[in-house]
Amino acid sequence: MLGSLRPTWLALTAASALASCGGDPAVSTKSDFVFEATIDPSPPIVGQNTMTFALKDLAGNPVVGAALSVDPEMPQHGHGSPEVPVVQDLGGGQYKASPVSLIMVGRWEVTVTASQGALRGKKMFPIDVP
């Protein structure tokens, strides 16, 4: 819903990514995790945003105590964000990253990388800033 301040779940499958992200699916490499993400505000704004990630194992169980990094990039312009998002463990497999600084309108790619023990995973979420 345009103008809403409620977070919107970002696409997790190619079909839902095509429907909600303007045609480009979220890119995923082989992963030991399933990632879900929200962004607030929604739609995202030029400036500081917050992303929340739900991290699950392949059986659907929440992954607690993982290390996450979040990297916003704007590949079309060849630059990233001026700030490195700080990731906070909210418990229960939920993680909050802020600020996710998106400094101009257009397509951004936010890549989240997670690890816990020997488990590893990475997923890119395409985000359009109107």
- Residue ranges and CATH numbers for the domains of the chain are 8-129 (2.60.40.10)
Q: Are 124 and 25 in contact (CB under 8 A)?
A: no
- Are β-strands 33-40 and 8-9 bridged in parallel, bridged antiparallel, or unpaired? antiparallel
Q: Which residue has the higher pLDDT, 2 or 117?
A: 117
| Token reading at 87 | 């990731």
Q: Maximum CA pair distance of the chain? A: 41
| pLDDT classification of 9: cutoffs 50, 70, 90 | very low
pTM: 0.78
Distance, in Å, from the CA atom of 123 to the CA atom of 30, rounded to the nearest integer, reads 9
> Does the structure show a pLDDT above 80 at 74?
yes
Q: What is the pLDDT of residue 30?
A: 80
